[in-house]
Homo-oligomer: A and B are copies of this chain.
Amino acid sequence: MVIKDKYGKGARAERELIEMLWERGFAALRVAGSGVSRRPCPDVVASDGKMTFAFECKSVAGDYVHLSYDEIVKLITFSQTFGAKPWIAVKFGSKDWVFLDMAKIQMTKGENFKVSKSFAYDDGKRLDELIEMNRDHSDL
């Protein structure tokens, strides 16, 4: 069963991610009204002046994260204009944030996406891996 976090808990988890990003040399911010804005936007944006990330964040108490097709489209649309790399950031309970490649996320009926805890921690990148991976690319 998926339990949708209340606003406060989700915001707290996002602030934890933002702190992790600052500790790694990124300026990071939470987006105001990301769920209700008429323009597409992610939940968290970070940059160190060389690489820029846009994150759609999901933190849940249960074993599955659900994402709507609309959320994915908005993340990609924003990122293309802003010049950011789009990533899905997921956090299950008190475990670490992990980052998922959109191409690998399983589509469910009704154009939605579903990610299991086991898939996320098997297949997702940790933050240090994500940064390292993109640093390699930006050095090319």
Chain A residues packing against B (C-beta within 8 Å): 11, 18-19, 22, 25-34, 37, 39-41, 45, 47-50, 52, 78-84
| Chain B hits for A27, CB < 8 A | 39-41, 78-79, 81-82
Query: A39's closest neighbor in chain B, by CB?
Result: B22
Q: A49 contacts B83, CB within 8 Å?
A: yes
Other than the known A27-B78, A29-B31, what 13 A-B pairs have Cβ atoms closer than 8 Å? A25-B81, A27-B39, A27-B40, A27-B41, A29-B32, A29-B34, A30-B37, A32-B33, A47-B83, A48-B82, A49-B80, A49-B81, A49-B83
Number of copies: 2
Chain B nearest CB from A32 CB (Å) reads: 4
Q: A26 near B81 (CB under 8 angstroms)?
A: yes
Measured between alpha carbons, how far is A34 from B49 in the docked complex, in Å? 20
Q: Name the distance in Å between A94's Cβ and chain B's nearest Cβ.
A: 21
